[in-house]
Amino acid sequence: MPDKHLSSQFDADLSLLSTRLLEMGGLVESQIVHAMEALNTFDVDLIERVLEGERRLNVMEMEIDEEISNVIARRQPAARDLRLLMAASKCVTNLERAGDEARKIVKRTQRIAKDANAPKVNIAEIKVSAEMASNVLHRALDAFARMDTTAAEQIIRDDEAIDNEFRAFVRKLVTYMMEDPRTISPGLDYLFIAKAIERIGDHATNIAESVVYVIKGTNVRHVPREQLELDALRS
Amino acid sequence: MPDKHLSSQFDADLSLLSTRLLEMGGLVESQIVHAMEALNTFDVDLIERVLEGERRLNVMEMEIDEEISNVIARRQPAARDLRLLMAASKCVTNLERAGDEARKIVKRTQRIAKDANAPKVNIAEIKVSAEMASNVLHRALDAFARMDTTAAEQIIRDDEAIDNEFRAFVRKLVTYMMEDPRTISPGLDYLFIAKAIERIGDHATNIAESVVYVIKGTNVRHVPREQLELDALRS
């Protein structure tokens, strides 16, 4: 049996890490909101704020990774506890990459703002996908903090909806571009913005998959979606 | 002082892990070659071979990650050794994701093959970037295996060339699309193929950055490129 005292110290370490992860996730979420708002308004201050936020995320990534290393070195966990900490480290990387995508969105927004030929694209689908991506990211981190596999498996299934919005937006963009070829170049900026949002959804999915990995010891990345659905029906 | 016997066992573990990583990297490299060949010839068997290879990469990812966990649990390394193992785990994820990109290339190739309007795009730039991406991936893994920071820093600088090829190809695609709007939709398939290759370069860069992190304990991701160049001049 594990030493009670050591074990509760370990729990305290985990709880601190979990708080830090949720904090970092909160920052990524607000980066997504601000990036979408910047795309809507082309507000220069907002763009600068996202770029600044990204630098804070980079620092947080290094700090949390350092804390994870320290916990491993200090507590020498095995089996599931170790898997949890290694998954937390990959989780931090996913958050930082999701933050990179928010940065890419404002960089593309800057280009669109400068382009006189930029089409007046209705960004309804982009907005919907951004909200969905932000939502799944939040839920994925929450599932990670609570190690809730049921919630995690639902998130993996929900990512499909974000991919569908992405495809719908690409079809719409193609129509715009065909009608007025001058819009092709700025259209690609919109395309990469939509792609960045789809990627944020992928990062959320990665986090959700790691929950299943920690708990079940199997890597759900490579279980077909249909199998997950069958498992959900059975459970 | 560390126990000599334990330390040489640890070295043996590391050497085995290093071999497995290079083996996985070799498979990713051949995936890139086959995916590019498939884009050139639309050979159905080659496409199937890449899809099959991707499944093998998924299995390898799980196996190597399991081995890394085992080494940490068994040897309880601290400081740099622990950083090395955690970096190896992120390295495996990068390799698996690079493999995902090869899969995306053949999936887009399948779509292009079916599309009667697909433009006869000269894929020279894509080929060049794919070769560069494969090359930096190989060198990044090699630098990781030897923990060679000088090589790693050079790789981080070289990634810029891949990004430049990507941008050149996008400009060419825009010209094609503007000349004949029927080519817009298949053109986007080519665009995402070019993007996939650029991503492979990014994964190689991530691996190279982790070498610097392990050795210097600083995260080079967030050091501006110009600073790296200055450091290179000084050293």
Which pLDDT score is estimated for B1?
46
ipTM score assigned to the predicted complex: 0.86
User: How far A184 CA lies from chain B's nearest CA (Å)?
Assistant: 7
Q: Is A64 left (phi over 0), alpha (psi -120 to 50) or beta?
A: alpha
Q: Is the pLDDT of residue A225 over 80?
A: no
The CA distance from B42 to B38, in Å, is 5
Which pLDDT score is estimated for B224?
54
The CA distance from B144 to B92, in Å, is 11
What b-and-e string marks burial along B187-210, b requiring 16 or more CB atoms within 10 Å of the CB?
Answer: bbbbbbbbbbbbbbbbbbbbbbbb
Which pLDDT score is estimated for A79?
85
Digit-coded pLDDT (tens) for A25-78: 999 999 999 999 999 999 999 999 999 999 999 999 999 999 999 999 999 998
Q: Is the pLDDT of residue B78 over 90?
A: no
The pLDDT confidence band at residue B232, using thresholds 50, 70 and 90, is low
Largest CA distance in chain A: 70
Measuring CA to CA, which residue among A62, A65, A51 is closest to residue B220? A62
Distances (CA, A) of B86 to A24, A213, B80, B92, B164: 20, 17, 10, 10, 31
Chain A residues touching residue B77 (CB < 8 angstroms):
73
Distances (CA, A) of A84 to A210, B74, B156: 9, 17, 30
The pLDDT confidence band at residue B235, using thresholds 50, 70 and 90, is very low
> B189 or A230: whose pLDDT is higher?
B189
Digit-coded pLDDT (tens) for A167-216: 999 999 999 899 998 889 889 999 999 999 999 999 999 999 999 989 88
User: Is the CB of A89 less than 8 angstroms away from the CB of B90?
Assistant: yes
Instruction: Please state which CATH number belongs to domain B4-234.
Output: 1.20.58.220
Which tokens in the block code for residue A174?
């193609």
DSSP, residue by residue, A14-46: HHHHHHHHHHHHHHHHHHHHHHHHHHHH--HHH
The pLDDT confidence band at residue B97, using thresholds 50, 70 and 90, is very high
Q: Residues of chain A with pLDDT > 90: what percent?
A: 73
Q: Is the pLDDT of residue B110 over 80?
A: yes
Which pLDDT score is estimated for A235?
46
Digit-coded pLDDT (tens) for B164-212: 989 999 999 999 899 998 889 889 999 999 999 999 999 999 999 999 9
Q: What is the average per-residue pLDDT within B137-163?
A: 94
DSSP 8-state symbol, B114: H
Lowest mean pLDDT among A109-118, B29-38, B69-78: A109-118
The CA distance from A141 to A79, in Å, is 22
By Cβ distance, the residue of A62, A72, A76 closest to B219 is A62
Q: Is the pLDDT of residue A84 over 80?
A: yes
Report yes or no: A78 and A145 within 8 Å, Cβ to Cβ.
no
By Cβ distance, the residue of B69, B184, B219 closest to A82 is B69
By Cβ distance, the residue of A76, A78, A90 closest to B93 is A90
DSSP, residue by residue, A89-140: HHHHHHHHHHHHHHHHHHHHHHHHHH-TT------HHHHHHHHHHHHHHHHH
Q: Residues of chain B with pLDDT > 70: what percent?
A: 89
The pLDDT confidence band at residue B233, using thresholds 50, 70 and 90, is low
Q: Which helix (H) or strand (E) holds B144?
A: helix B124-146
Q: Is the pLDDT of residue B24 over 80?
A: yes
The residue count of chain A comes to 235
Domain limits, chain B: 4-234
Helices and strands (DSSP H and E) totals, chain B = 7, 0
Which pLDDT score is estimated for B125?
82
User: How far B195 CA lies from chain A's nearest CA (Å)?
Assistant: 10
User: Is the CB of A79 less than 8 angstroms away from the CB of B73?
Assistant: yes
User: How far A178 CA lies from chain B's nearest CA (Å)?
Assistant: 5
The pLDDT confidence band at residue B229, using thresholds 50, 70 and 90, is low
By Cβ distance, the residue of A72, A181, A191 closest to B72 is A72
Residue to test with chain A: of B97, B170, B184, most A Cβ within 10 A: B184
User: How far B175 CA lies from chain A's nearest CA (Å)?
Assistant: 9
Chain B residues touching residue A55 (CB < 8 angstroms):
222
User: Is the CB of A89 less than 8 angstroms away from the CB of B93?
Assistant: no
Q: How many CB atoms lie within 10 A of CB A60?
A: 20
Helix axes A184-216, B149-179, angle to 10 degrees: 130
User: Is the CB of A76 less than 8 angstroms away from the CB of B76?
Assistant: yes
Distances (CA, A) of A95 to A139, B206, B220: 13, 15, 17
> B-side interface with A, Cβ within 8 Å?
55, 58-59, 61-62, 65, 68-69, 72-73, 76-79, 82-83, 86, 89-90, 93, 170, 174, 177-178, 181-182, 184-185, 188, 191, 195, 219, 221-222
Which tokens in the block code for residue B143?
């630098």
Q: What is the average per-residue pLDDT within B32-61?
A: 96
User: How far B138 CA lies from chain A's nearest CA (Å)?
Assistant: 22
CB pairs under 8 A between A and B: 78
The CA distance from A211 to B38, in Å, is 36
- Closest Cα in chain B to A63: B219
The CA distance from B177 to B187, in Å, is 7
